Amino acid sequence: MALINRMSNSELEGGRPFEFTVTPMQNIPLGLLKSRDFRSMPLDASQLAVYYASYRHLAKMASRDAFQDARGDLLSKVGTGLLISLGARAMLHTISTICRKGGLDLEKAARYGVDGGPTVR
């Protein structure tokens, strides 16, 4: 999580933001795949923190790039940019709600590893 937060706040030469994506995955035993009952494996706080950091970065990147990458006339660009930006915010809101219900302190997770904070070892 600290690595995701640090990279999300990094810039390349010239002030250009460092762009990347992260896809958190969970190890699911084969027996659960057969029974299709994934709810019996709740995520712990550290796993929720990684999901939150990943989706927070994705929402930040989508909102930042939504208007820049849109093509077409002005109305299409604004419409597409607005749709992408709102979708990113809705996705982050949903993930935030899930993480809060799981007991994650979102403010602590957002600061973790940034500006000399604690790092993962």
pLDDT tens figures, 54-105: 999 999 888 888 777 667 788 888 888 889 889 999 999 999 999 999 899 9
Cα(105)–Cα(15) distance, integer angstroms = 30
Cα(72)–Cα(119) distance, integer angstroms = 44
Reading the block at residue 62, the tokens are 């989508």
The confidence score (pLDDT) of residue 106 equals 92
Nearest to 107 by CA among 38, 49, 65: 49
11, β-bridge pairs: 17
Mean pLDDT of 6-22: 86
The confidence score (pLDDT) of residue 120 equals 44
The confidence score (pLDDT) of residue 100 equals 92
Burial (CB count within 10 angstroms: exposed 0-12, middle 13-18, buried 19+), residue 48 = buried
The confidence score (pLDDT) of residue 39 equals 60
